[in-house]
Amino acid sequence: MDERIRDDFPILRRHEHGKPLVYLDSAATSMKPGAVIEAEADFYRKSYANVRRGVYELAAEATDLYEGARAKVASFIGARPDEVVFTRGTTEALNLAAWGLGETYVDPGDEVLVTEMEHHANLLPWQEMARRQGAHLRAAAVTQDGELDRDDLRRKLSPRTKVLALAHVSNVLGTVNPVAEVAAEAHRAGTRVVVDAAQSVPHLPVDVRELGADLVAFSGHKMLGPTGIGILWGRNDLLSELPPLLTGGEMVREVWLNWATWDSPPARFEGGTPPIAQAIGLGAAADYLRAIGMDEVRRHGEELTALALDGLLGRPYVTVYGPRDPALRGSLVSFSVAGIHPHDVATLLDQEGIAIRAGHHCAQPLHRRFGIPASCRASFYVYTTPDEVERFLAALDRVWEALR
């Protein structure tokens, strides 16, 4: 990775407690390059107006920028623009998916299948949908190595399973799930497949058609884009069957006092004034990642993950969760330090300027599966350097010496 990339991220010049910031929490949210900050600011400075409703030139320009951003994101994931719905983030996208699929396809006695490794954002919307529809929620197991138990998934997949929702990459274990193979199996059972791609689209080359899913959700803020913007991708024929989650302005064709007809996708799902500046910022983020090349982003992430894994596995006081092979992982490693609470580890690392995540990472059932209440997580992105990973490992030894 080109060293000059770091210069594009103004926040990385910060110091914490007198030490240069080592930011190892990109799985929670990524930092923003100047190009993204400027794209958003420029829109407010030069082209700001509401979209889709004005006939004047400024409104047309704002609409072009907003729709241009949709086209950039679509091409980033190998999709068509009319298949890309802007949401506030992965959470909203998955809620939209659960609402729409529930209303359309799920009846009392049906089943919805998730996995034990889901983020709460890909669990609670399905819990709620199953409760509303009188359906049963089941979960495919995770093996001790942190992989999806494919046999268990096969056992739980039946003609009653209306939806399978699973993560592409686990935000705790790092596991890259074989989504294309699993989706093919699910489709043979007549099941619709929803993929939480919050941790994959930012880090791996993802082509939604190769993924083979029916709906795919991800967030802008984890891929160098702004907060408040995310995506639900869906095949247009499927999106056309789903009802909206939010009703209101700009998502309708005809409105009478007692009834209304919905617009076609994606407008149907974007009721109200959308996050316009954020969408434009996300378009700039897609441009930035594309200029680096997603193969290079992946290669760099794998190199850093290999370095961190190697260092952590070589320390007897550390337990690592998830696959041992960096090729089977996203750009993150979760671990525990023997007898020391993850919050204490993170607090002491912070004293050295190193920011890692400690907690259950919004995956309580998964932590319960491994018999722990919480873990530490270090995660990496395009601006992370091997030197930073080495500094983290050396600082971890000092934490261990201080608290053992």
**CB closer to ligand PLP out of 252 and 362:** 362
Q: Please tell me the distance from the alpha carbon of residue 98 to that of residue 92, in angstroms, as a whole number.
A: 10
Residues 6+ apart with CB under 8 A from 95: 125, 245
Asked if residue 219 binds ligand PLP (CB under 6 A), the reply is: yes
What number of other Cβ atoms are within 10 A of residue 42's Cβ? Answer: 16
Asked if residue 196 binds ligand PLP (CB under 6 A), the reply is: yes
Q: Which of 1, 24, 112, 121 binds ligand PLP (CB under 6 A)?
A: 121
Q: Which one of 187, 362, 364, 372 is the catalytic residue?
A: 362
Nearest to 95 by CA among 192, 203, 230, 190: 230
**CB closer to ligand PLP out of 122 and 375:** 122
**229 with 270: CB under 8 angstroms?**
no
Mode of pairing for the β-strands spanning 161-167 and 318-321: unpaired
Q: Which of 177, 199, 334, 336 binds ligand PLP (CB under 6 A)?
A: 199
CB of 48 to ligand PLP, least distance (A): 25
Asked if residue 175 binds ligand PLP (CB under 6 A), the reply is: no
**CB closer to ligand PLP out of 297 and 399:** 297
Asked if residue 25 binds ligand PLP (CB under 6 A), the reply is: no
Asked if residue 171 binds ligand PLP (CB under 6 A), the reply is: yes
Q: Could you tell me the end-to-end alpha-carbon distance of the chain, in angstroms, rounded to an integer?
A: 36
Q: Which stretch binds ligand PLP (CB under 6 A): 96-104, 116-124, 260-268, 393-401?
A: 116-124
Q: Please tell me the distance from the alpha carbon of residue 273 to that of residue 97, in angstroms, as a whole number.
A: 20
The question of whether 376 is a catalytic residue gets the answer no
Q: Please tell me the distance from the alpha carbon of residue 106 to that of residue 100, in angstroms, as a whole number.
A: 10
Asked if residue 30 binds ligand PLP (CB under 6 A), the reply is: no
Task: For the segment 71-100, give every residue that binds ligand PLP (CB under 6 A).
Answer: 89-91
Task: For the segment 221-280, give every residue that binds ligand PLP (CB under 6 A).
Answer: 221
**CB closer to ligand PLP out of 222 and 391:** 222
Asked if residue 367 binds ligand PLP (CB under 6 A), the reply is: no
CB of 398 to ligand PLP, least distance (A): 29
CB of 217 to ligand PLP, least distance (A): 7
- Residue in the structure block whose two tokens are 């619709």: 192
CB of 89 to ligand PLP, least distance (A): 3
Asked if residue 122 binds ligand PLP (CB under 6 A), the reply is: yes
Instruction: Please give the full DSSP string across 199-236, using - where no structure is assigned.
Output: TTTTTS---HHHHT-SEEEEESTTTTS-SS-EEEEE-H
Q: Which residues of 363-387 are buried (b: 16+ CB within 10 A; e: fewer)?
A: bebbbebbeeebbbbbbbbbbbbee
Residues 6+ apart with CB under 8 A from 124: none
Asked if residue 52 binds ligand PLP (CB under 6 A), the reply is: no
Handedness of CA 19, 172, 2, 35 (dihedral sign): negative
Handedness of CA 197, 200, 202, 204 (dihedral sign): negative
The site for ligand PLP (CB under 6 A) is made up of 28, 89-91, 119, 121-122, 167, 171, 196, 198-199, 219, 221, 362
Catalytic residues: 362
